[in-house]
Amino acid sequence: MTVPSAKKRVAAVIGGCVAGVLLLGAVFAVSQCDRKVAAHFQRMHLKPRKADDAITAISKDPDRHAQFLERSKQGNIDLVFLGDSITDRWPRVGEWSWLKLAPYKPANFGIEGDCTEHLLWRIEHGELDAISPKIVVVLIGSNNVFYFADETPEWTARGIEKIVTVIQKRSPASKVLLFGIFPRDEKDSRVQRTITAVNQQIQHFSDGAHVHFADIGAQFLDGDGNIPADIMPDKVHLSAKGYAIWYRSLESILPGMLK
The pairing of strands 135-139 and 211-214 is unpaired
Decide: helix, strand or coil at residue 107.
strand
Whether 78 is catalytic: no
Decide: helix, strand or coil at residue 26.
helix
Whether 40 is catalytic: no
Measured between alpha carbons, how far is 167 from 146 in angstroms, rounded to an integer? 24
Beta carbons within 10 angstroms of residue 211's beta carbon: 18
β-sheet with 106-110: strand ranges across:
106-110, 79-83, 135-139, 175-179, 211-214
User: Is 82 within 8 Å of 137 (Cβ atoms)?
Assistant: yes
User: Is 178 within 8 Å of 211 (Cβ atoms)?
Assistant: yes
Given the residues 45, 85, 206, 210, select the one marked as catalytic: 85
Given the residues 65, 118, 212, 237, select the one marked as catalytic: 237
Given the residues 34, 52, 234, 252, select the one marked as catalytic: 234
Whether 150 is catalytic: no
Active site residues: 85, 234, 237
